[in-house]
Each structure stands twice: as C-alpha cells, then as structure tokens.
C-alpha cells in the first residue's frame, strides 16, 4: 500500500467526535502520528483546522484554544564535540536527550529537529544567486531547534538555561513565534492573517 492510500485510510478511520454535542469540534483531517519516516520520503507538514460543529463556516485554529505562547529555541554551534573524548560526547548527548524527554513528558515540545550540516543560501532578484552555506562548522551555525509551548518568555528562558550544550560553549537563541506577520500587522495589511489561513 503506498503512502497516499495509507494516509487516506488513516483519515477515514481516526478519531470521530461525539455527534450532536454543540461544543464538539470535528477535524477536517486527523492524521495518525507516524512512528517512522515514510519510505523514501522527505520532510512533510500536515495542517489541521478545527471547525465548530455549530458554525461550520468558521474555522478555528488550535492557537485560539490555549493561552500559552510558542517559542523557538535555536541551538547555535556545531563544533562543541571537536575537543571531547567519545565518552564525553556520549555523556553530553545522553544529558541532552534526557532533557528533551523531560520537556516532552511535560507536554512542552511541539516540534524538534536537528539540521543537516550543509545547505544553500538563496538571494538576489528571483533567487538567482544560490551558493553553498551557511558554514556548518561554526559557532553561529544552527544545529537544530525546539518549538515549545510555554506560559511566557521567562519560562522559555528557564528551559533554555537547562540545555546541556551550554556547558560546551553552544548558545541557545530564544525567539517568540509571532501570531501574525509583524510588518503586515503594523500596516494593517491582509497578509497579517496569512499564518492563520
């Protein structure tokens, strides 16, 4: 069975809310969370919009149902392991994974991924300039990220301060996720709502 057929079957068979409840929300798409990568597949994102069953024309996103804020933790530095023994590297990675698991168990992780060492920089009109970069072996290179959901910036900073890679010279950049495009919002432009479309 190919990936499209599996997804279609999962879509039909996953969670169904109780019918008749005026406060129930029915999902347009409820994908099963995969336990492994699709064969031969790359990265993918599935969006889910919740629709109030009493007014099906009004979409709601999950951000409206929570008072928490989203923050991106960017892990800067990809050279921390160069001067360490294999045992020290293993100890640091184990501490990092334990920290990650604690955050996941607390329900604070919304997404997380390491980044490949290489990439491309696209610039210029129509993206005409495509060059190798950013430089992966750098204290400024981003090695990965966490997307977390917390009460406020203070909690996001407190979580970042627990990162085991700080002891190895890395930097954790804490960035709030904007609910809409800040520039468009300052101009009262319709593009401001694109993030919720």
What residue spans in the chain does CATH classification 3.30.70.1060 cover?
A: 68-112+138-176
Token pair in block for residue 21:
């409840």
**Residue 165 near residue 80 (C-beta atoms within 8 A):** yes
CATH number for the domain formed by residue range(s) 68-112+138-176: 3.30.70.1060
pLDDT one digit per residue (tens) for the chain, 197 residues: 554 444 444 444 443 333 344 444 444 444 444 444 444 443 334 333 333 434 344 344 444 445 889 999 999 988 889 889 999 999 999 999 999 999 999 999 999 999 988 888 899 999 999 988 776 566 778 999 999 999 999 999 999 999 999 999 999 999 999 988 888 778 876 665 555 55
How far is the CA of 123 from the CAs of 24, 103, 130, 134, in angstroms? Answer: 46, 36, 7, 13
Cα 94 versus chain centre, distance: 22
**Closest C-alpha among 150, 158, 148 to residue 68:** 150
C-alpha to C-alpha distance for 195 and 177, rounded to whole angstroms: 11
């Amino acid at each position: 069975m190919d990936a499209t057929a599996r997804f279609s079957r999962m879509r039909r068979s996953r969670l169904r809310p109780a019918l008749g409840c005026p406060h129930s929300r029915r999902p347009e798409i409820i994908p099963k969370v995969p336990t492994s990568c699709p064969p031969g597949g790359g990265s993918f994102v599935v969006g889910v919009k919740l629709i109030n069953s009493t007014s099906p024309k009004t979409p709601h996103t999950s951000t409206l149902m929570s008072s928490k804020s989203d923050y991106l933790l960017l892990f800067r530095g990809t050279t921390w392991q160069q001067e360490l023994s294999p045992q020290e590297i293993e100890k640091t990675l184990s501490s990092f994974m334990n920290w990650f698991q604690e955050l996941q168990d607390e329900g604070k992780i919304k997404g997380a991924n390491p980044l490949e060492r290489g990439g491309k920089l696209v610039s210029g009109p129509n993206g005409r300039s495509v060059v190798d970069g950013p430089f992966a072996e750098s204290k400024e290179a981003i090695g990965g990220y966490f997307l977390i959901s917390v009460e406020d910036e203070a909690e996001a900073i407190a979580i970042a301060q627990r990162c085991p890679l700080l002891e190895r010279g890395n930097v954790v950049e804490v960035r709030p996720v904007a609910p809409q495009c800040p520039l468009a919002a300052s101009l009262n432009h319709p593009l401001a709502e694109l993030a919720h479309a």
